[in-house]
């Protein structure tokens, strides 16, 4: 315990079900995981989870959309700074060759900007930046549906498009998303085996959103509740051969309706990145359905 009353607790298996999807390939916590908790007066004030790979690179987290430090309650900058110091020291003592963190951005973490600043001050350097677009506010989501949703619903009904949304019952729509995106020349990084595994582990966190005409899927999205108060527009696709109009708009209107039903606090429309640079066309499209944006930054520190 340090002079401010904090102590570092290190475990390999948590005593809780994680409130965010922990690792998209793991069925359980293994000995490779290190769970650091910053405790004061028997309350966890901050935590971070790492996994050591075969090269002794400590990653938070290797196959999840993000990892990094999560705070709970009020925590002063000195407390966060001390926590980072203790974690880095322990990982070095365990022989870590490198530390890699993809820090959860706002609004997933209220102190994200402070954490990014302190990582930099500890010698971490930026490896990658992805700009995520969000629609934030439970009441604002409902207001958007009331003010903007009518025209998209009218367009859907005019074209006779049916909606299938909710918990995943089969994975046909996932295969369709991969197929369509491949036809459009996009990189297909959707691991369907991993998705099947994760849905079996977290059936209440994965959702299907499909648009159908005469029973055939013409557009679809895979949605994920990364945290209990969010909905992530993870992967989507539209049949390149279809002639139906405004399918992207209709998909996002249905996304808002599902977010309202789930009573989440924000929608994450993800990043819009190409190998060659920013996807400005997609950024502009999403901007019509978002009210904020934050950077998800990946950091590294050579030990």
Per-residue pLDDT tens digits of the chain, which is 303 residues long: 666 788 999 988 655 445 455 444 444 444 568 999 999 988 999 999 998 888 999 999 877 889 999 998 888 999 999 999 999 999 999 999 999 999 999 999 999 999 999 999 999 999 999 999 999 999 999 999 999 999 999 999 999 999 999 999 999 999 999 999 888 877 667 778 888 888 888 889 999 999 999 999 999 999 999 988 999 999 999 999 999 999 999 999 999 999 999 999 999 999 988 778 888 999 999 999 999 999 999 999 999
Residue 223 CB: number of other CB atoms within 10 A?
Answer: 25
Q: How many domains does the chain have?
A: 2
Assigned domain for 151 exists: yes
Is it true that the peptide bond before 61 is cis, omega within 30 degrees of 0? yes
- Judgement on whether residues 10 and 105 belong to the same structural domain of the protein: yes
- Judgement on whether residues 101 and 161 belong to the same structural domain of the protein: no
CATH number at residue 144: 3.40.630.30
- Judgement on whether residues 104 and 24 belong to the same structural domain of the protein: yes
Instruction: Output the pLDDT for position 25.
Output: 40
Assigned domain for 279 exists: no
Q: Are 23 and 202 in contact (CB under 8 A)?
A: no
Report CA-CA distances (Å) from 41 to 3, 16, 119, 197: 13, 19, 25, 38
Assigned domain for 176 exists: yes
- Judgement on whether residues 124 and 143 belong to the same structural domain of the protein: no
The Cα–Cα gap between 48 and 71 comes to 9
Q: Whole domain around residue 48: which residue ranges?
A: 6-131+296-302
Structure tokens given for 62: 């290797």
- Judgement on whether residues 112 and 178 belong to the same structural domain of the protein: no
The Cα–Cα gap between 298 and 59 comes to 10
Assigned domain for 29 exists: yes
Instruction: Output the pLDDT for position 26.
Output: 43
The Cα–Cα gap between 4 and 7 comes to 9
Assigned domain for 286 exists: no
Instruction: Output the pLDDT for position 11.
Output: 87
- Judgement on whether residues 78 and 168 belong to the same structural domain of the protein: no
- Judgement on whether residues 101 and 39 belong to the same structural domain of the protein: yes
- Judgement on whether residues 127 and 148 belong to the same structural domain of the protein: no
Assigned domain for 285 exists: no
Nearest in space to 21 (alpha carbons), one of 198, 191, 165, 169: 198
The Cα–Cα gap between 100 and 284 comes to 31
Assigned domain for 288 exists: no
Assigned domain for 122 exists: yes
- Judgement on whether residues 39 and 91 belong to the same structural domain of the protein: yes
Residue 292 CB: number of other CB atoms within 10 A?
Answer: 13
- Judgement on whether residues 237 and 184 belong to the same structural domain of the protein: yes
- Judgement on whether residues 145 and 214 belong to the same structural domain of the protein: yes
pTM of the model: 0.90
Main-chain phi, psi angles of 231, to 5 degrees: -135, 120
What are the residues whose beta carbons fall under 8 Å from the beta carbon of 239, sequence distance 6 or more?
176, 180, 217, 218, 219
What are the residues whose beta carbons fall under 8 Å from the beta carbon of 71, sequence distance 6 or more?
45, 46, 80, 109, 110, 111, 115
- Judgement on whether residues 125 and 172 belong to the same structural domain of the protein: no
């Amino acid at each position: 315990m340090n002079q401010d009353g904090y102590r570092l607790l290190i475990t390999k298996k948590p005593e809780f079900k994680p409130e965010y999807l922990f690792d998209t390939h793991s069925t359980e916590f293994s000995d490779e995981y290190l769970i650091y908790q910053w405790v004061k007066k028997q309350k966890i004030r901050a935590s971070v989870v790492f996994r050591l790979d075969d090269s002794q690179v400590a990653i938070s987290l290797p196959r999840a959309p993000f990892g990094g430090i999560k705070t709970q309650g009020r925590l002063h900058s000195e407390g966060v700074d001390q926590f980072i110091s203790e974690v880095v020291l322990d990982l070095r003592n365990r022989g870590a060759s490198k530390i890699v963190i993809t820090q959860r951005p706002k609004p997933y973490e209220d102190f994200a900007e402070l954490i990014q600043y302190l990582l930099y001050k500890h010698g971490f350097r930026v490896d990658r930046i992805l700009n995520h677009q969000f629609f934030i506010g439970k009441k604002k989501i409902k207001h958007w549906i009331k003010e903007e949703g009518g025209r998209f619903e009218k367009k859907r009904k005019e074209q006779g498009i049916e909606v299938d949304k909710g918990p995943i019952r089969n994975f046909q729509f996932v295969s369709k998303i991969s197929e369509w995106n491949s036809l459009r020349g996009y990189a297909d990084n959707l691991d369907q085996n991993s998705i099947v595994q994760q849905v079996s582990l977290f059936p209440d966190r994965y959702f299907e959103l499909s648009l159908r005409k005469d029973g055939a899927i013409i557009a679809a999205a895979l949605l994920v509740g990364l945290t209990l108060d969010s909905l992530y527009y993870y992967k989507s696709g539209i049949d390149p051969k279809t002639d139906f109009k405004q399918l992207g708009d209709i998909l996002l209107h249905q996304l808002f309706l599902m977010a309202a039903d789930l009573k989440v606090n924000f929608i994450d429309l993800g990043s819009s990145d190409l190998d060659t640079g920013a996807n400005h066309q997609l950024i502009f499209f999403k901007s019509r359905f978002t009210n904020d944006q934050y950077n998800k930054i990946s950091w590294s520190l050579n030990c």
